[in-house]
Structure 1
């Protein structure tokens, strides 16, 4: 089954007992807005997860601006909200799936296999005339067993030597490259065994501007695939054919490490990669905000190529 479901699919199964609906609406410029909007109206039976309060651990010197909580900690949060490994979980937001994808990847990391993202957002659900409510669901706490898939997350100690290797590979490469999507692709026959993907907007990757953090640029060796480019104009994930074309320059046998600013908007890219058969995909959880917290880490600007 796909990692996404349609609003009609959810409507038809909304009251099935093993189905849990999760609302992840959030806005960085107003941290209370998501909770407020949920209290005003939401999909019936939906429970709310807050990016900062529920899906991130407290910020420290390193680890990024939305650190992933320890597996047992997030498992307790999920259990208190009435989730278990036996439930089917459908997640939505009103933010092009960015925060829904963060919870999807968190649950995937914890070993949950029946978790899906609503293909369209809450606004699409409401526009279709489907039911909404302000009633808070009755939550019966459960035990959510954490089964962490350790290979799905990487940290600075993994990325730093990888960056050194990749940036060394790219130095002195032939500049005659073929443009594919947002990335300069070199010789497809010599695709790198590991690819580091920066999911942020192109100007941020190139170092032309930085809208959120103190330093502009990207991790040396990284290539750019902007996360919103995997979406249609309505905010749904593009078709598998479109995604295959988008990622055509990547080797499906390669290890793919994905990052963004804080480990959130990288997740739609991971969803899209998984949707078209990339199996060895990992999240650098701290992402750019963690990378620049180490003064000794180098920063690259401009374009880089794969292979």
Structure 2
């Protein structure tokens, strides 16, 4: 079952039980900021803003964008109008990784009717679809969530794999190769999420299938990480679209934000060969 939805498919959906969420984040010279201002200026008509800085992340966590608990996530999902029978479509205006992060969270909390708009807002506009400004009104939802096991992995397991790698498992960094070279978890390999995207920002299914096929022989889990488990979520989406079963994939939620917090934890720095 695909978790991607095209612009034409989204445009054809009935609006009755549809919830469209804008998970945009603003990228600035100092890092990342809330995308609320950009959402208010321009969004898919009817979309609601899903705040990954506060409501859909644990702001009290020890690292940025930490996954919220079930109670917080349920309250956040209800506030953006998600009901028990809702179909949720998520998008962003960057690489799609932020939308994928929200997709991963919804799935991890037991909501399966959630999709990512392939190509995001850029694809919507490129297809000549209208945009809206301001913010629509909606009813508070009633969705009930329950955390599923296996969607996130903690520091202890990743440390164990970094010290004693298993031939049946893989730890993969979803950052760009240049970032991987600057420092990565020992015994982890590189598979940049951007490398599985086409020029228009949609998921390149041929590349995704090839990447997923390369992991099919593993019997254990594929652990994905990046700087803050955002690109890792994008990679999870691409790999599952490529055919890797979702139950085989897990995110190291702390990623390098947590790993690098302790200078005693080793980082492998790669010197590129000319």
TM-score by length of 1: 0.81
Query: How far is 1:301 from its partner?
Result: 2.1
- Give me the whole-angstrom Cα distance separating, in 2, the residues matched to 1:91 and 1:194: 30
Shift of 1:33: 6.0
Matched residues in 1 for 2:129 and 2:196: separation? Answer: 26
**Residue in 2 that maps onto 1:42:** 43
Cα drift, residue 277 of structure 1? 2.6
Distance 1:84 1:154 in 2: 28
Matches of 2:148 and 2:75, distance apart in 1 = 17
Aligned to 1:255: 221
Partner SS state of residue 86, structure 1: coil
Match of 2:259 in 1: 291
For these two proteins, the number of residue pairs brought into alignment is 266
Partner of 2:5: 5
C-alpha root-mean-square deviation of aligned residues, in Å?
1.8
Query: 1:127 and 1:108 mapped to 2: Cα distance?
Result: 28
- SS of the residue aligned with 1:75? helix
Consecutive unaligned residues in structure 1, runs of 5 or more? 170-191, 208-216
Find out whether 1:235 has 2:234 as its counterpart: no
Which one of the candidate residues 197, 201, 206 is aligned to 2:181? 206
Once the two structures are superposed, the pairs formed by residues 177-192 of structure 1 within 5 Å of their partners are 192=167
Contact 2:26 / 2:38 at 8 angstroms: preserved in 1? no
Q: 1:193 aligns with which of 165, 168, 172?
A: 168
Q: Is the 8 A contact 2:168 2:218 kept in 1?
A: no
Q: Secondary structure at the match of 1:235?
A: coil
Counterpart residue number, 1:93: 92
Quick one: structure 1 residues 252 and 88, their matched pair in 2 at CA, closer, same or farther if it must change by over 3 Å?
farther
In 2, the alpha carbon distance for the partners of 1:276 and 1:252 equals 15
Separation of aligned partners in 2, 1:140 and 1:248: 43
CA offset digits 1:157-182 (Å, max 9, x no partner) = 2211121111xx7xxxxxxxxxxxxx
Larger Rg: 1
Segments of 5+ residues of structure 2 without an aligned counterpart are none
Matched, 1:275 2:241: yes
**Does 1:246 pair with 2:221?**
no
SS at match of 2:142: coil
Q: Over residues 125-156 of structure 1, what are the superposed CA-to-partner deviations in whole Å (9 max), with x where a residue is unaligned?
A: 12322121124222211222121112111111
**Could you tell me the TM-score, scaled by structure 2's length?**
0.91
Q: SS of 1:131's equivalent? A: coil
Within a 5 Å distance, the mapping from 1:11-160 to structure 2 comes to 11-13=11-13, 15-29=14-28, 31=32, 34-58=35-59, 60=61, 62=62, 64-160=63-159
